[in-house]
Structures are given as structure tokens and as C-alpha cells.
Homo-oligomer: A and B are copies of this chain.
Amino acid sequence: MPAGITEDMVSALARDRSGLVHASTADRVTELLRTHIMEGLFPPGTRLSEEAIGQALGVSRNTLREAFRLLCHERLAVHEMNRGIFVPVLTSADVADIYKLRRLIEGGAARLAGGASMTSRLAVRATVESGEDAAAAGRWFEVRTADLRFHQAVAALAGSPRTDELMRRALAELRLIFHVMADPEQFHAPYLERNRTIADLIVRGDGQRAEADLRSYLADAERQILAVYQIPAPGTEP
């Protein structure tokens, strides 16, 4: 019978560490509201009443306020003093800003394709394939999800947890814009092929071309959104 715990066993357990953190109520409420806002349950502009939501979820106002603060911090809600929490109404300027950020991050990450691990490169292609499958089956909302995951996977080529997190937030904001737009088929169908092209370039390790393709891709998408999504910033054009 062996004497004790070995070095290996310790490090094996250390890897499980993240699996046993139980989240606080505020965190779970945040997560819940986050998905609801992203899925479009609350249309932009809706006020999120403390009383109503607190009662619906069975949590106290104080706990709920912690959750609201977090949502505001990641721009999935906006706080107006003494008025309450609202689902944000993103402006055209926001769209442009998000795309600027995406070009910076995704473009830069794609360029690193050659140096990225093969695992993460194949992960990009996997998202493309799941998008193609969903399109073949006509499930266009899944296509949208796959598309967002594609871009997430591209950003992940940078191999930086902070970048991943940042990208997740940017794409969450983008969802707010998407689901007040036309149906996903019309918007996403043309990009399936371009995703495939970029994924192939990435797997091949041609970061240079992948970046160029991605940049023009993002520029096109931005133009297309701005053509139909015209919401002015508050204070300009009342």
C-alpha cells in the first residue's frame, strides 16, 4: 500500500479546481439575465424593474442589484440614475465601434494562425462545418450561433484568455443588434462560404491571407448592417 499522495495526484486534482466553484446567487442571476437579454426576450429599451424581476426570480432586491451592476459593466444593460436599468438601444455608432474592435482583435488573431496550435486551428474549421450542417438543415438560427462561434474561435487563435473574454462580450453585444434585424437566412447565408475560405487559410497556416479576407469580410458585414440598422445617438436627431 503506497504511502501517500504523489506529486502527480496533486496536480491532477489541481486541474479540477475550477469545477467545484459554486456560483453565488448574484452570479447565477446575472448569467440568467444575460442569456435572456442576448436571446432577445427583453427588447431594447425595456426597463428591468427591480420589483418585478426580483419577485419573478425569487431573489431579494439587493442581490438583484448586484446582478444589474454586473450586466451594466459588460454593457448588456444601462443604468440611468434614479430611473432604473434598461436594455440598451445600440446606435449606429455602437455598431461601427464594435466592428472596429472586431477588426482589431479578429484581424490580429487571424494573422497569428501560423503560430497557433493545430487544435485551435481545427476548432475554427469545426465551427464552419457545424454552420454548414445547420444551413443544409435550414436551421438558420443555429447558423447564426455557429457564425458567432466561428469568430470566437478565430479570436482564440491568439491564445489569450483575456482576449477570449473580451471577444465573448463584444459578440454578446452584437447579438442585441442582430435580433432586431431581418431574418438570419438572408444575412448569414452569404458568409458561409467566406467562413469556409478563411477557415481553410487558417488551418493551412496562412495568417497573412486569412487576415486580409477577414478584414474585408468584416467591412462588408458592417456595411450591410449599417444599411438597414440606423439608430442615431441620443441628442442627435431626436
Contact = CB atoms under 8 A, between A and B. Distances in A.
Contact of A162 (B11, B79, B97): B97
Contact of A166 (B11, B109, B166): B166
Nearest to A165: B75
A49 interface: no
A14 B234 contact: yes
A104 B106 CA distance: 9
B81 A161 contact: no
Contact of A14 (B98, B163, B236): B236
Interface string A60-71: 001001100110
A54 interface: no
Contact of A81 (B22, B108, B238): B22
Contacts of A189: none
Nearest to A13: B235
B24 A81 contact: yes
A24 B98 CA distance: 27
A128 interface: no
Contact of A104 (B14, B97, B108): B108
Contact of A108 (B65, B74, B107, B160): B107
Name the prevailing secondary structure of the A interface residues. helix
A105 interface: yes
A182 interface: no
A163 B236 CA distance: 23
Contacts of A97: 160-162
Contacts of A158: 100-101, 104
B163 A100 contact: yes
A101 to B, nearest CB: 5
Given A100-B158, A104-B158, 10 more contacts: A14-B234, A17-B234, A23-B81, A62-B62, A97-B160, A97-B161, A97-B162, A101-B160, A103-B108, A104-B104
14 contacts: A14-B234, A14-B235, A21-B81, A26-B69, A69-B70, A73-B74, A97-B160, A97-B161, A97-B162, A100-B162, A104-B105, A104-B109, A104-B158, A105-B108
